[in-house]
C-alpha cells in the first residue's frame, strides 16, 4: 500500500509541479513552499546580497577587509535616452 | 608631416628627392614624438601584462563556477519551443579601447544575431555591458537597446557587478523567453574566441520535459535557481571577457611598440643621411665660394 502511494506520487509530481507554477508567489501552493523573502518581494539575488553583507559584517577584522574589497560593485547603469 | 611634404613637392617639382629635404628639425621633431609614443605603448603593455596575470588567476575559480552553473542547461537539453517571441542578447565587453578586435568582434556577433532573429520574426532587445558596445551599435540598433552599463574594465569585475546587471535585467520589465550572452572566451595569451552562451526564462525551463527527472524541484526552487544562474552566467562571461581584453591589449601594445621601433630605426637612418647631406652641401658651398674667389 505504501509503495503504491509512493509510485503514485512520482506519477503525479509533474502535475503537482505544474499546479504550483500557475499560482502567484503571493499565496502558498498545494506543494510549493514560497520563501518568506519571496513573499516580502525580494528576488533571490537581493536576498543573497543581504545575506552576504551580513556574513561580511560578522567576519574577523583581518579577513573582513579583503572580503569587503572583493565585494565592491563598480558598474553603473546607463538608461538609453527616449527620443 | 607627409601632407606638408607633398604640398611642397607640388609647388617645387624640380626638387628631386622624395621626402623633399625634410629639414633636420622636422625629422628631429618626428623622432622625438615617436620615441614618446613607444615609451607610452611599452608602459601600457606592462600594465596590461600585470592586469592580465591577475585576471587569469581570478579566472580559474570563476570558470569552475560558471561551467558548473551552465551544466544544468546542457545536461537537461532544454529546448525553446518555436513560438517563443522575445529574445534578449547581452553583449559583454568593456569601456576602453586599444585592445585589438575585442569590441568589434562582439558587436559583429550581436549584429548577425539581431538580423537572423529579426528575420525569423522574433522580438530582440540588446543589453550592452561596456560603453564601447553602445558606441558601436548605437547608430544602427538604437531602438533595440534595453540598457547599457558603463565603468566596466577599470577594475576587475566582481560578483557584485554581475548581481547589479542581473537585478536590472529582472526589474526591467522586459519578459524575455530566451536569451544569450555574447562574450570573448579566453583561450590563451594570444587567442580568444567570441562565444555565445544561452540562458532561458523560468517558463521555458519549467516547461522542458526533462525537468521532471530532477528530484525535489518545485517552482520556488527553480525560480531562485534561474535568478542565480543569470547572475552566474554574467559573472563568468565578465571574467572571461576581461582576461581576453587584457591579453589582447598586451598583444596590441606590443605590436605598436615594435612598429614604433621600426619607424625609429628608419627615421634615424634618414636623419643621419640628411645630416650628412647638409654637411656636404655646406662644404660644397664653401669650396665653390673659395674657388670662385681665388
Per-residue pLDDT, B209: 72
Give the CA distances from residue B35 to residues A4, B29, B40, B111, B127, in Å, rounded to whole numbers and listed in that order: 84, 10, 9, 39, 41
Contact across the interface for A43 and B227, Cβ inside 8 Å = yes
Residues contacting residue A41 through CB under 8 Å, at least 6 positions apart: none
Q: How many CA atoms lie within 13 A of B114 on its CB side?
A: 20
- Indicate the SS3 state at residue B273: helix
Record the cell numbers describing residue B159, joined without a space.
560578483
Contact across the interface for B152 and A75, Cβ inside 8 Å = yes
Please give the Cα distance from B290 to B262 (Å, whole number).
Answer: 42
Contact across the interface for B166 and A73, Cβ inside 8 Å = no
Least confident of A33-37, B49-53, B236-240: A33-37
Judging contacts by C-beta atoms under 8 Å, the chain A residues touching residue B145 are 80
pLDDT digits (tens, 9 = 90+) for B245-281: 999 999 999 999 999 999 999 999 999 999 999 999 9
What mean pLDDT do residues B148-160 have? Answer: 91
What mean pLDDT do residues B95-107 have? Answer: 93
Per-residue pLDDT, A82: 61
Do B121 and A65 form a contact (C-beta atoms < 8 A)?
Answer: no
Per-residue pLDDT, B57: 94
Other C-beta atoms lying within 10 Å of the C-beta of residue B195:
19
Contact A6/B at CB under 8 A: no
Least confident of A2-11, A38-47, B170-179, B216-225: A2-11
Please give the Cα distance from A77 to A63 (Å, whole number).
Answer: 30
Please give the Cα distance from A34 to B223 (Å, whole number).
Answer: 10
> Residues of A numbered 43-72 whose beta carbons fall under 8 angstroms of chain B's beta carbons: which are they?
43-46, 48-49, 70-72
Closest by Cβ to A45, choosing from B150, B166, B212: B166
Backbone dihedral region of B199: left (phi > 0), alpha (psi from -120 to 50 degrees) or beta? beta
pLDDT digits (tens, 9 = 90+) for B196-248: 998 888 888 877 777 777 777 788 888 888 899 999 999 999 999 999 999 99
Please give the Cα distance from B18 to B7 (Å, whole number).
Answer: 12
pLDDT digits (tens, 9 = 90+) for B111-142: 999 999 999 888 999 999 999 999 999 899 88
Do B152 and B70 form a contact (C-beta atoms < 8 A)?
Answer: no
Record the cell numbers describing residue B271, joined without a space.
636623419
Task: Say yes or no to pLDDT of B189 above 90.
Answer: yes
Task: Say yes or no to pLDDT of B292 above 70.
Answer: yes
Please give the Cα distance from B292 to B122 (Å, whole number).
Answer: 89
Task: Say yes or no to pLDDT of B92 above 80.
Answer: yes
Contact across the interface for B149 and A38, Cβ inside 8 Å = no
pLDDT digits (tens, 9 = 90+) for A12-23: 444 444 444 444
Per-residue pLDDT, B18: 53
Buried b (16+ CB within 10 A) or exposed e, B8-42: eeeeeeeeeeeebbbeeebbeebbeebeebbeebb
Task: Say yes or no to pLDDT of A28 above 50.
Answer: no
Per-residue pLDDT, B9: 44
Please give the Cα distance from B103 to B192 (Å, whole number).
Answer: 12
Per-residue pLDDT, B250: 96
B16 compared with B281, residue with greater pLDDT: B281
Give the CA distances from residue B176 to residues A21, A32, A42, B15, B170, in Å, rounded to whole numbers and listed in that order: 17, 24, 20, 69, 10
A78 compared with A14, residue with greater pLDDT: A78
Record the cell numbers describing residue B109, joined without a space.
556577433
Least confident of A53-62, B13-22, B240-249, B285-294: B13-22
Per-residue pLDDT, A23: 40
Average pLDDT of the residues of chain B = 88
Contact A21/B at CB under 8 A: yes
What mean pLDDT do residues B20-31 have? Answer: 85
Record the cell numbers describing residue B122, joined without a space.
522574433
Closest C-alpha among B102, B99, B105 to residue B44: B99
Could you write out the DSSP letters of every residue in A15-61? Answer: HHHHHHHHS-TTS--SS----HHHHTT--HHHHHHHHHHHHHHTS-H
What ipTM was estimated for this complex?
0.76
Task: Say yes or no to pLDDT of A29 above 70.
Answer: no
Amino acid at each position: 500500500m505504501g509503495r503504491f502511494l509512493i509510485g503514485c506520487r512520482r506519477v503525479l509530481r509533474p502535475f503537482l509541479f505544474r499546479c504550483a507554477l500557475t499560482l502567484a508567489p503571493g499565496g502558498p501552493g498545494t506543494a510549493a513552499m514560497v520563501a518568506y523573502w519571496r513573499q516580502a518581494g525580494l528576488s533571490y539575488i537581493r536576498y543573497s546580497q543581504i545575506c552576504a553583507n551580513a556574513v561580511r559584517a560578522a567576519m574577523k577584522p583581518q579577513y573582513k577587509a579583503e572580503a569587503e574589497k572583493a565585494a565592491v560593485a563598480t558598474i553603473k547603469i546607463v538608461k538609453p535616452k527616449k527620443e | 608631416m607627409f601632407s606638408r611634404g607633398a604640398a611642397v613637392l607640388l609647388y617645387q617639382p624640380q626638387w628631386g628627392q622624395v621626402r623633399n629635404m625634410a629639414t633636420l628639425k622636422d625629422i628631429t621633431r618626428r623622432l622625438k614624438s615617436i620615441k614618446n609614443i613607444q615609451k607610452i605603448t611599452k608602459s601600457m603593455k606592462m600594465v596590461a601584462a600585470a592586469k592580465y596575470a591577475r585576471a587569469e588567476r581570478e579566472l580559474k575559480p570563476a570558470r569552475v563556477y560558471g561551467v558548473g552553473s551552465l551544466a544544468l542547461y546542457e545536461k537537461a537539453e532544454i529546448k525553446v519551443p518555436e513560438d517563443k517571441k522575445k529574445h534578449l542578447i547581452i553583449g559583454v565587453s568593456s569601456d576602453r579601447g586599444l585592445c585589438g578586435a575585442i569590441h568589434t568582434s562582439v558587436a559583429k556577433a550581436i549584429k548577425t544575431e539581431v538580423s537572423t532573429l529579426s528575420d525569423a520574426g522574433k522580438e530582440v532587445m540588446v543589453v550592452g555591458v561596456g560603453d564601447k558596445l553602445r558606441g558601436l551599435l548605437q547608430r544602427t540598433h538604437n531602438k533595440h537597446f534595453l540598457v547599457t552599463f558603463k565603468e566596466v574594465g577599470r577594475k576587475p569585475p566582481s560578483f557584485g557587478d554581475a548581481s547589479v546587471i542581473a537585478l536590472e535585467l529582472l526589474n526591467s520589465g522586459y519578459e524575455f523567453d530566451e536569451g544569450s550572452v555574447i562574450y570573448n572566451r579566453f583561450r590563451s595569451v594570444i587567442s580568444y574566441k567570441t562565444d555565445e552562451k544561452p540562458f532561458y526564462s523560468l517558463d521555458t525551463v519549467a516547461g522542458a520535459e526533462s525537468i521532471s527527472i530532477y528530484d525535489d524541484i518545485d517552482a520556488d526552487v527553480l525560480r531562485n535557481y534561474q535568478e542565480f544562474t543569470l547572475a552566474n552566467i554574467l559573472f563568468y562571461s565578465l571574467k572571461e571577457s576581461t582576461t581576453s581584453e587584457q591579453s589582447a591589449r598586451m598583444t596590441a601594445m606590443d605590436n605598436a611598440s615594435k612598429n614604433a621601433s621600426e619607424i625609429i630605426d628608419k627615421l634615424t637612418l634618414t636623419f643621419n643621411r640628411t645630416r650628412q647631406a647638409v654637411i656636404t652641401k655646406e662644404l660644397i658651398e664653401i669650396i665653390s665660394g673659395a674657388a670662385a674667389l681665388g
